[in-house]
Each structure stands twice: as C-alpha cells, then as structure tokens.
A and B are shown apart, each in its own frame.
Chain A
Amino acid sequence: MYQDVILDHYKHPHGRGLREGQSEVHHVNPTCGDEITLRVRMDGTVIGDVSYEGQGCSISQASASVLNELLVGKDVSEAQKIQETFLELMQSRGRIEPDEAMEEVLEDAIAFAGVSKYPARVKCALLSWMAWKDATAQALSEGKPA
C-alpha cells in the first residue's frame, strides 16, 4: 500500500501551510487522532488555492498533498468529479482495478488504490478530501447573495 508516490508526497508535501481563503474547516478522525485544518480560496468558479495544516499518518498527509496538486487551478465542477472518482475508488475495498480513464482523472491519486483494501486506513486517505468538500461548499455559499 505504501507506493513510492505516496511516500514522496508524505516527505515533500505540496501546498502545505495555511494561506488566505474564503472558508476554513477542521476535520478529525477520532479513531486515530489524525486532524486537518483546511482552507479554500475560490477565484470565481476556479479553485484558487487549497491550503492546509494538520497531523497524521503518511496516508492522510500524502492524500492532502495529492489533493492540492490535483485540484488547485481546476474548475469547481471538474474538481467535484475528481473528488467523486477518488471517493468511489477508496470505497471499493480493493475491488476496482483502475483503468486508463480513471488514471487520467486521478493522476497521482491512483496510487491510493491499494489503501482501499485496508478498511482501517480508508478514513485516513479520505480525511482531507472530505474536509475539502465541506470547505468548498462553504466557500461557494459565501459567494452567493443571501
């Protein structure tokens, strides 16, 4: 499950550190104490920045790094599709053999396919993605007139 891609992201995380954003969320995984604070900055409908700070295992930290690399600069509708694809892969209990189409969507995130075989670790991989989903929803509703 510890692919080189995952270890690389763990040791050299992309976009780590908190920067400005329209929304901030704090998510925890109570079973293991992993936590993340994550901010989203929207530039119109484009994900301007995803910044984060947190502590946890290599899986949770690498996953946040991959998320940053993958989603920043994308239109929110495309980013949501990527998030859904990642969620589907992680909830597959190792039963999805990623095809080329999926690899194209998920890029480095495809390395987490092996993690989906370990139910105890799926939550680690999903922590930042759930936080991002939550923060993006908040950032989008903020921009709309009440």
Chain B
Amino acid sequence: MTSTSPIGRVPAGLLDTEAIRKDFPILDRLVHDDRRLVYLDNAATSQKPRQVLDTLNAYYEQSNANVHRGVHVLAEEATALYEGARDKVAAFINAPSRDEVIFTKNASESLNLVANMLGWADEPYRVDSNTEIVITEMEHHSNIVPWQLLSQRTGAKLKWFGLTDDGRLDLSEIDQVITEDTKIVSFVLVSNILGTVNPVEAIVRRAQQVGALVLIDASQAAPHMPLDVQALGADFVAFTGHKMLGPTGIGVLWGRQELLEDLPPFLGGGEMIETVSMHSSTYAPAPHKFEAGTPPIAQAIGLGAAVDYLSALGMDKVAAHEHAITEYALGRLLEVPDLRIIGPTTGEDRGAAISFTLGDIHPHDVGQVLDEQGIAVRVGHHCARPVCLRYGIPATTRASFYLYSTPAEVDALVEGLEQVRNFFG
C-alpha cells in the first residue's frame, strides 16, 4: 500500500508510514476475502499499536491488582503504573499539576462531569435560572445533550454560536451570545464532522471578560496536534483515549486546580472520600475526589503507553503529517465530480476528518460500496445531527486520517468513489 506512488503531488511533511504501519498489526488485515484494509474511520476510533497492546497484556499478566488499597507487591505495582499514566498524560498536555488530571471512562463522561459539577455548585459557579450556558452548533451530541439536561433541570438558558456556509463558527455576534449572565462556554476544539479547528483565543478572551468558565472538547485534537492546556487558557479540557491509540474505556478531564478544589463531586463511592461516617463524609483532594470506585486501571496504563508512542513520534510531526495528508485528500476529492465537501475546503485551520456528499447518492450506499472494496469510512450524521440540519443534508460520508494514513490510501478512496458513481450513476 505505502509503496504505490501517489497519483497527485503530495505536500512535504509525511511521517515514515512504512515503519509506523509495522506497529499496527490490524492494518495488514484483509477484508472481504482479499481486499487490503484501508482504514479511514480514525475520527471514530484509532487503531492500536503493538506497544499499547503489549502494555495491556503485560499489566494483566504481571501486575494486575486493585489500586490505592493493598499493601502487597501487586497492589503497589498496579498503583505505580496507574499513577504513572497520570504523570504521562499530565506531561503530554502540559498540565501545571498531575493532580489536575482526572481519569474518566470517555470524553462524554468528562463533559457530563463538568455539567453536573456546575449544576450542584455553590456561587459563584452555580448554573441556575438566572444564568446562561453557551455551546456551538457544531458540537458532538456529547457536548449538546449534557447542557440541554442541565438547562432543563436548572432553568438556565442554553445559547449557541451558529455556523457560516463554509463550515466555521459564526462569531459575528459574540458579545450578544456570551454575556454577563454566561456561566459556562463549552465548545469543540476540532469538529468531528466538519474538521474545523476553532479560534480558541477569541472565545476564551470574551468568556474571561464576563467571568464565564470555559470547557474545551479536545477529543479530535488530542490525538492529532500538540495540546497545551495552559496555552489554551481554558478552565477544563476533555478528551478520550481510544481516538489517540489508547484502549476504549478511558477518558480524561483536565481542570484548573482551584476549581477542582471548590467544585462538588458528582459520583460518590470508594476512593473519593477522606472520612465517612453514617451522617456525612469529607472528600479526598482532586483528582481522587472525582474518581469514585475502582477506576479503569489497565485502560489508563494503556493510555500512558499510547502517550509514550505519540510523544516519541512528536505531536508536531503528527500534526504536519496529517496536514499534508489532508491537503492531498482535499485536492484529490475535489476532482471527483458531484462531490461536495461539508466543511472547510482548504487545509487552513482544519483537521484530518473530511465529510462530503456525492451527488444524491445516499451516504449509506457510498459507505457500503466502499466497504466492498475494503475501504472503511463512517456514514451518517456523526453524532452531530444539528450540523446536517444546518447544511440541509440527511447525512454525510466521512473519511478521517491518522498518523499511519498514506497518500495511496487517499488514492484508493478516490478510486472507490469512482466505482460508487459508476454503480449508482
């Protein structure tokens, strides 16, 4: 696959995918008898390198125990590995303190956790009927529904930024959308459906002006670009492990220390307490205050191995690779007759997820015929139905790339789409 010379001109900056792909056994799989897998569904989940799989296996074979409790060797090893993963993640996102990294089960839980903290909080954080919540029209459902729930329960007003025709946030009325009544602004850093990279600084500046907290959904950013929570200037950052080479079942919420101290816990249980009596309890300091119950231990350790893998490659190099692949893919896709890209059509401020429609051929049919050729894409509304409504389409086909994607795979996609057109044309 990688040795095939690409049809178009490939921009500079590609990683050595031939070497990288050797770490991902699944990429050698054949599907439908004899088709080489072309995996272009990375925005849904990434594949896992051998280094992560070996780490999971070694943990279960050698060190498996519950964490933070026992005094035996295995318990101490498991605890050291689990907390070591926290150190790795903290360094990966440039967190000022490891205690600001909370392990959750996924980004959805991280986002729900913040929404619930704010619903139960005292002043000055409390979200109630006199306050407003601000999101955007390009959020994943996981950053819409928790706020709808909070709004319904508290009476807070839910507002959002709309979208421009070319797939960017419409910030023209930012001062009317984010006001003195706004308590929280929650938005996606990189859209999972449009690929848009949003202008963090402008939104954070306005939020800080009015004293609102900022939560950034970095699920499609953490796997693909350097993520520096201090540079973002947000109060909370959420992301998930399985999209960045880690296992499923592990997510992260980073939050500023003073907020984590002030805000109330959401889930109660073991691990999150200091002392418990039958009348009341006091809580452990963050991050444990927000990690009730036995955590996803192996998954956190697996995420630590994924972070090691990404750091060894260098996130700036990963970003450059994906930028080159995205530019190449945009150029080649725009050559396909009747293909309409939903989202930015240039590589500027853009991630590696590209949604499109192909004439009036339904995305389900596009996806099925591509699958017959071994090409895995995602079809549907990508858990971002408001975006489909905004652009007047029932669904899209989405190809999304990662650090192991090659120009030859882009060519395979374009060739596959030709077959789709011949079939349904």
Which stretch in A19-27, A52-60, A83-91, A98-106 binds the other chain? A52-60
Count residues on chain A whose CB falls below 8 Å from chain B CBs. 15
When each residue 389-417 of chain B gets 1 if its CB lies under 8 Å from chain A and 0 otherwise, what string results?
00000110000000000000000000000
User: Is A14 in contact with chain B by the CB < 8 A criterion?
Assistant: no
Report Cα–Cα, A1/B424, bound state, in Å: 13
Q: Which residues of A contact B380 (CB under 8 A)?
A: 31-33
A57:B362 contact, CB within 8 angstroms:
yes
Query: Which residues 78-127 of A sit at the B interface, judged by CB distance below 8 A?
Result: 118, 121, 124
Report Cα–Cα, A3/B344, bound state, in Å: 36
Q: Which residues of B contact A34 (CB under 8 A)?
A: 364, 394
Report Cα–Cα, A63/B423, bound state, in Å: 18
User: Is B89 in contact with chain A by the CB < 8 A criterion?
Assistant: no
On whether A2 and B423 interact (CB within 8 A), knowing A32-B379, A32-B395, A33-B380, the answer reads: yes
Q: Which residues of A contact B385 (CB under 8 A)?
A: 33
In angstroms, how far is the closest chain B Cβ from the Cβ of A57?
4
A33:B365 contact, CB within 8 angstroms:
no
User: Is B368 in contact with chain A by the CB < 8 A criterion?
Assistant: yes
Report Cα–Cα, A124/B369, bound state, in Å: 16
Report Cα–Cα, A32/B381, bound state, in Å: 7
Q: Which residues of B contact A124 (CB under 8 A)?
A: 364
Contact for B395 among A7, A33, A59, A121, CB less than 8 A: A33
Q: Which residues of B contact A55 (CB under 8 A)?
A: 362, 394
B362:A1 contact, CB within 8 angstroms:
no
Report Cα–Cα, A144/B364, bound state, in Å: 41
Q: Which residues of B contact A118 (CB under 8 A)?
A: 368
A121:B364 contact, CB within 8 angstroms:
yes
User: Is B388 in contact with chain A by the CB < 8 A criterion?
Assistant: yes
In angstroms, how far is the closest chain A Cβ from the Cβ of B172?
30
Q: Which residues of B contact A121 (CB under 8 A)?
A: 364, 368
A57:B381 contact, CB within 8 angstroms:
no
Q: Which residues of B contact A31 (CB under 8 A)?
A: 380
Report Cα–Cα, A32/B379, bound state, in Å: 8
Contact for A33 among B368, B369, B388, B423, CB less than 8 A: B388
Q: Which residues of A contact B379 (CB under 8 A)?
A: 32
On whether A58 and B394 interact (CB within 8 A), knowing A2-B423, A32-B379, A33-B380, the answer reads: no
B394:A56 contact, CB within 8 angstroms:
yes
B368:A56 contact, CB within 8 angstroms:
no
Query: Considering only CB atoms, which chain A residue lies closest to B389 in the complex?
Result: A33
B394:A33 contact, CB within 8 angstroms:
yes
B364:A57 contact, CB within 8 angstroms:
yes
Report Cα–Cα, A55/B385, bound state, in Å: 16
Q: Which residues of A contact B369 (CB under 8 A)?
A: 2
A33:B424 contact, CB within 8 angstroms:
no
Q: Which residues of B contact A2 (CB under 8 A)?
A: 365, 368-369, 423
Report Cα–Cα, A7/B425, bound state, in Å: 10
Given contacts A1-B368, A2-B368, 8 further A-B contacts (CB under 8 A): A2-B423, A32-B363, A32-B364, A32-B379, A33-B394, A57-B364, A58-B365, A121-B364
Nearest first, the 5 A-B pairs at minimum CB distance are A57-B364, A57-B362, A33-B394, A58-B365, A33-B395
Pull 6 A–B residue pairs with CB atoms less than 8 Å apart, ordered by A: A32-B380, A33-B388, A34-B394, A56-B364, A57-B363, A57-B365
